Structure 1
Amino acid sequence: MWAAQVEAYSSGTMKNARLGDYTTGDAAASIISALTYYNKRGLAFKGKPVIAPKVTSVDIASDPRTATISDCVDMTGVLVRRATGELLPKTEDDRRPWTAQATTARGGNDWRIARYTIDKTRTC
């Protein structure tokens, strides 16, 4: 999923991001919403965030099957102004790295991120 996000946020378009290969539902909608937010403010990604995903639970009895992934996301030095390439400074209330949690759902042979939430109030 992060590869699709980085592609979209770096280029400013979903054209080559292949979002549907990795996400569905709320997760896809939140990525599109974030892209719109960044584009309106003239922001882009330069580089990739550092991530540390870990599967924390799996439910094979549910339909569809689900898994929960906990992640630590560090965006330090990634977000820039698109026109100049200038790094955005870290603000006082900007906690980095932050925690994130993803819920995946299996449909057929594929697992896709269905829900992705970020908690910037907690560091990891």
Structure 2
Amino acid sequence: MSVLALAAAGCSDTTSPASDDPASAPSLSAPPQSMRSAAEAQALAAWQGMWQAYARAGLTANSADPDLARYARDRALATLTAGLKSYKDKGQVLKGEIVTDPRVSNATPDVDPTTVTITDCVDDSRFLVYKASGELLNDIPGGRRSALATVTKSNGGWKVSSFGVQDPDTC
């Protein structure tokens, strides 16, 4: 998680006398770093929100769950919906918890990012496949999987646009 450092930015004009007029006082504003920190925080929230939405949609294998599109778009949304549709077609659902521990590895452009790259170690060891009847289908847990994602800012806010998740025990 990024640490937000605030700094006071001011002007010093030695040619004019000090004034008690608040309008002539130097303004304080957050440095450009705060825009980067805010972008990183929103991108991380989108990544974590996507996994939470996927877990909820997995309970019924609902590929049309609107929360998926709230956090994901493009290839990421297509991947999630195709996976859920596949489970639904087989009469399967997903239950359990997906644990994430994301970190920002890059953000561009530097000052006011519109693209953030996230690395994570996604733990799906407690996220299992069940028959729609509720019977456990596969009790072989997943594991800790290395993941890389691209989160982009658009008119709809910050959304995961692509991601890849590796095999279990890769992190």
TM-score clears 0.5: yes
1: distance between equivalents of 2:140 and 2:116?
Answer: 33
Larger-gyration structure (1/2): 2
SS at match of 1:48: strand
**Aligned residues with identical type, % of pairs:** 28
User: Corresponding residue for 2:119?
Assistant: 70
1: distance between equivalents of 2:66 and 2:123?
Answer: 21
User: Given the alignment of the two structures, is residue 103 of structure 1 paired with residue 165 of structure 2, yes or no?
Assistant: no
Tell me, yes or no, if the aligned pair for 1:56 and 1:69 is still in contact at 8 Å.
Answer: yes
User: Given the alignment of the two structures, is residue 9 of structure 1 paired with residue 58 of structure 2, yes or no?
Assistant: yes
User: Given the alignment of the two structures, is residue 51 of structure 1 paired with residue 100 of structure 2, yes or no?
Assistant: yes
User: Given the alignment of the two structures, is residue 90 of structure 1 paired with residue 140 of structure 2, yes or no?
Assistant: yes
Equivalent AA in structure 2 for residue 84 of structure 1: G
CA RMSD of superposed structures (Å)? 2.3
Larger RCO: 1 or 2 (CA < 8 Å, sep 6+): 1
**Gaps spanning 5+ residues in structure 1: where?**
none
SS at match of 1:102: strand
User: Given the alignment of the two structures, is residue 119 of structure 1 paired with residue 169 of structure 2, yes or no?
Assistant: no
Tell me, yes or no, if the aligned pair for 2:129 and 2:136 is still in contact at 8 Å.
Answer: yes
1: distance between equivalents of 2:64 and 2:107?
Answer: 32
Tell me, yes or no, if the aligned pair for 1:5 and 1:17 is still in contact at 8 Å.
Answer: no
Count of residue correspondences = 119
Structure with greater proportional helix content: 2
Structure with greater proportional strand content: 1
1: distance between equivalents of 2:66 and 2:102?
Answer: 20
Tell me, yes or no, if the aligned pair for 2:75 and 2:162 is still in contact at 8 Å.
Answer: yes
Compared CA separation, residues 107 and 58, structure 1 to 2 (3 A): same
User: Corresponding residue for 2:47?
Assistant: none
Compared CA separation, residues 12 and 30, structure 1 to 2 (3 A): same
2: distance between equivalents of 1:97 and 1:31?
Answer: 19
SS at match of 1:75: strand
Equivalent AA in structure 1 for residue 83 of structure 2: A
